[in-house]
Chain A
């Protein structure tokens, strides 16, 4: 046990039959076995280099560098006693390992560097940028009308929120009124989007902890919601449906029946999720007390959304700074107490229910009227008008070639995305393209707070914590 490898080398260098048959009493059984293996497989070769120390730095390092031990390990002849501890390595030495960027549970291309002390994480560092595509710069090259096509690709699990935030910012600078029907359609689509996004989160959170059934269940209901998006917008994601001035098209015939169907299907699925998870001892064990963040830390780090609410603060932009007429619908802001993964689960489940409640109210009170502003300087005229009206033709031409101009100014507009506060800081210099568009991505701030949630937790809880943050890397990197 206590033999340092250097001492062993000298004896192995000259193996002899006598030494094998009659070993000195001081040589341990493990040592004898190692010599036997060496004679069997490595006789005639040079003695193994035993000066190489194993190091704990780096993930690729094999712990045992001596060839005979490796060989014995491969042959299955190495006994447990042979796992000697190198006395030159301090007991409190930590090792740094990489998780990602290609890891099934990093939800994209997030890379985490974890400093481990045994199984405990001492330090974590998120490394981002693998999905950076310069969308903020791209936005400066697109007109205000083309903007939603760009921003919808940022947070690809809640594209409607991106489009809504951008459109609201442009409309704030323009100072135009949006018809009630367009506002109600926007709320309908964004709240359904919150449902579909939370379902994806629930599916992946279950998958990461090992509840594979949840993966299938979550995607099953999400698929129904996405089918409705396809029916309305023509696309399953990246819709470019909510635009400055209103929405791209009116709701199709029969949308009420489809929404009714969703309002039946999703709650039925939720009963199944709750029956499977809420009181499941394994689920509780893996989520309660894991990845805790306090309200004070949330505030200092700008953590918003379900994470902030799960830590006990009833903060929701829809209540504090209502947009698009959300204040006329009734809903509650669920909160947790402990700020752990389990409370985030409960909060998100309740948010799905509240969003479905809003969708029900929208369905019952959908106003009639225009689905976009009739301000022809902002929205294009209907196709049929182009054959009859010179004015319409001019407006159509101007909007699709030059784009509309937006008055000089800066505005910060925020909406409550499924992940937290999605904000856009839009600067216009009076031209048809934004001078600057900065996106305050909720995942960016939430990922930044990961080291605090992971510090001094077990490495096995990393995936549970990471999944509960629900980061979308397209949103983090933009």
Chain B
């Protein structure tokens, strides 16, 4: 009960900040720090390589993956936000990936973090984003026969009758 792996109070595991290492290795990635949170903006082609780089740079804990539908905001309609954590830091990193509305697909990161499995299924279910290379891209929260992706901004709220699986529908 008592012998714990202590979490260092502050500072990166090595002398250099992991962000500097990552910025050097991936020159195409844009780093910023809005509201004191570290954000990296990645093109979807470079996503898997960058996530692997992050894991090797200390961000080895998968925390979250979610999608946002910005509808008409250029350049991309969808944005996928991936949250990683470095327990040793302690540091957080949010990776943002733009996904065009016309071709809503991006590579899956389940090969790097198996924990992304359920999260990518959720994003597929609610936003209709296709994660290429996902082992089992099926609906997770909604029934299999559900029509549409209800968290998209062009999906009306309260304008359609509630769909129940297996119910007799009058058309």
Contacts and interface: CB of A to CB of B under 8 A. Distances in A.
Interface of A: 128-129, 132, 134, 136-137, 140-141, 172-173, 298-304, 312-315, 319-321, 333-337, 346-347, 350, 409-412, 414, 421, 423, 425, 427, 435-436, 438, 440, 444-445, 448-449, 477-478
A300 B83 contact: no
B69 A436 contact: yes
A416 B99 CA distance: 31
Contacts of A436: 68-69
B151 A137 contact: yes
Contacts of B118: 444-445, 448
A421 B63 contact: yes
20 contacts: A132-B141, A132-B142, A136-B151, A300-B62, A300-B114, A301-B115, A314-B5, A320-B90, A321-B92, A334-B1, A346-B1, A410-B34, A421-B63, A425-B68, A425-B81, A425-B83, A436-B68, A438-B81, A440-B66, A448-B118
A409 B7 contact: no
List the 6 closest pairs (A to B, CB-CB), nearest first: A301-B115, A438-B66, A320-B90, A314-B4, A440-B64, A335-B4
Interface string B49-87: 000000000001111101011100000000001010001
Interface centre among A319, A436, A477 (most CB of B within 10 A): A436
Contacts of A425: 64, 66, 68, 81, 83
Given A321-B92, A423-B64, 10 more contacts: A132-B142, A299-B61, A302-B63, A302-B64, A314-B4, A320-B7, A410-B81, A425-B66, A425-B83, A478-B141
Given A128-B141, A134-B150, A299-B62, A312 B5 contact: yes
B45 interface: no
B3 interface: yes
Contacts of A336: 1
B142 A129 contact: yes
A344 to B, nearest CB: 12
Given A132-B142, A436-B69, A137 B64 contact: no
A134 B158 CA distance: 11
Interface residues of B, number: 38
A423 B63 CA distance: 9
A45 B70 CA distance: 72
B132 to A, nearest CB: 20
Best-buried of A173, A300, A336, A337 by chain B (most CB within 10 Å)? A300
A321 B90 contact: yes
B35 interface: yes
A172 to B, nearest CB: 6
Nearest to B66: A438
Interface string B1-29: 10111110000000000000000000000
Interface string B140-156: 11110000001100000
A409 B39 CA distance: 12
A477 B61 CA distance: 22
Given A299-B62, A312-B5, A440-B63, A427 B157 contact: no
Given A132-B142, A302-B64, A448 B3 contact: no
B4 A333 contact: yes
Nearest to A343: B1
A196 B83 CA distance: 29
A336 B113 CA distance: 24
A108 B168 CA distance: 27
Nearest to A321: B90
Contacts of B5: 312-314, 335
Contacts of B61: 298-299, 302
A427 B34 CA distance: 13
Nearest to A126: B118
A16 to B, nearest CB: 53
A183 B151 CA distance: 33
B126 to A, nearest CB: 8
Given A132-B142, A423-B64, A438-B66, A300 B115 contact: yes
Nearest to B87: A315
B142 A337 contact: no
A155 to B, nearest CB: 16
Given A335-B1, A411-B37, A412-B94, A313 B87 contact: yes
Contacts of A347: 1
B114 A129 contact: no
B83 A412 contact: yes
Which has the most chain B C-beta neighbours within 10 Å: A134, A320, A427, A449?
A320
Contacts of A320: 7, 87, 90
Given A302-B115, A314-B4, A141 B157 contact: yes
Most A C-beta atoms less than 10 A away, residue of B70, B83, B117: B83
Contacts of A132: 141-142
Contacts of A438: 64, 66, 68, 81
Contacts of A141: 157
B166 to A, nearest CB: 14
Interface in B110-147: 113-115, 117-118, 126, 139-143
B125 to A, nearest CB: 8
A301 B114 contact: yes
Contacts of B1: 334-337, 346-347, 350
Contacts of A302: 61-64, 113, 115
